[in-house]
Chains A and B, each alone.
Chain A
Amino acid sequence: KQEVTQIPAALSVPEGENLVLNCSFTDSAIYNLQWFRQDPGKGLTSLLLIQSSQREQTSGRLNASLDKSSGRSTLYIAASQPGDSATYLCAVTGGDDKIIFGKGTRLHILP
């Protein structure tokens, strides 16, 4: 049974710092891994989608990597801003089209 773990559960960093959020999954037989952002009381915004054959994806200040064999992904945020404060969710999809989510990392950027 696929399990997704995100560490740390919460993180506070000063504005301007680079940071890394970690995600691990137990079953490497995934089709893709997707990073989402969730703001309080809001929906999920897709940030990056990495197919199982890919190693990384980049969008602006965000870079996500995928090491399928070791069951790990990282989300790198460069030059953090207060607007980056949110909960970041890692999610993997297998052949059954079910998304398995981690419990998220609650990120707070200190002005």
Chain B
Amino acid sequence: DTAVSQTPKYLVTQMGNDKSIKCEQNLGHDTMYWYKQDSKKFLKIMFSYNNKELIINETVPNRFSPKSPDKAHLNLHINSLELGDSAVYFCASSPYGGANYGYTFGSGTRLTVV
């Protein structure tokens, strides 16, 4: 299946831990993104990468670090997790920029920090 795949789907962890979320797309897209959906269901962009190069870096704590080993993968590493990091994190991809072709989203990773 052609898709944007995220792992894990659910992640429960204690405050202070470091965790990673992985994202892979087999659509041949050049650009990948991380979005965060908070408890009020509001979706907001965090990062975007185009062919392994960081393009968008919103005002996100330094504890969040994206890594793109190749254009098909964009992982999100979070250090020293805090309660406020609990949210659903969505990965997305698009052909070079989604302005012309729209975006394809993964199914999300629900992160719960306890």
The residues of A with any CB-CB pair to B shorter than 8 Å are: 31-32, 34, 36, 41-46, 49, 51, 87, 89, 91, 93-99, 101, 103-104
The residues of B with any CB-CB pair to A shorter than 8 Å are: 31, 33, 35, 40-45, 48, 55-56, 90, 92, 94, 97-108, 110
Given contacts A97-B98, A97-B99, contact A46 B105 (CB under 8 A): yes
Query: How many contacts between A and B, using CB within 8 angstroms?
Result: 62
Interface centre among B40, B97, B110 (most CB of A within 10 A): B97
Which partner residue on chain B sits nearest A95 by CB separation?
Answer: B99
Whether B45 lies near A99 (C-beta < 8 A) is: yes
Q: Which of A32, A36, A42 contacts B108 (CB 8 A)?
A: A42
How far does the alpha carbon of A96 sit from the alpha carbon of B45 in the complex, in Å? 12
Q: How far is the CB of A61 from chain B (nearest CB, A)?
A: 20
Q: Which of A34, A45, A46, A98 contacts B45 (CB 8 A)?
A: A98
Residues of B near A43 (CB, < 8 A) are: 90, 105-108
Q: How far is the CB of B23 from chain A (nearest CB, A)?
A: 12
How far does the alpha carbon of A97 sit from the alpha carbon of B45 in the complex, in Å? 10
How far does the alpha carbon of A94 sit from the alpha carbon of B99 in the complex, in Å? 7
Q: How far is the CB of A13 from chain B (nearest CB, A)?
A: 21
Residues of B near A95 (CB, < 8 A) are: 99
Q: How far is the CB of A111 from chain B (nearest CB, A)?
A: 25
Residues of B near A91 (CB, < 8 A) are: 43
**18 sample A-B contacts, Cβ–Cβ < 8 Å, listed by A number:** A32-B98, A32-B102, A34-B102, A42-B108, A43-B107, A46-B103, A46-B104, A51-B100, A87-B41, A89-B43, A91-B43, A97-B94, A97-B98, A99-B98, A101-B42, A101-B43, A103-B40, A103-B41
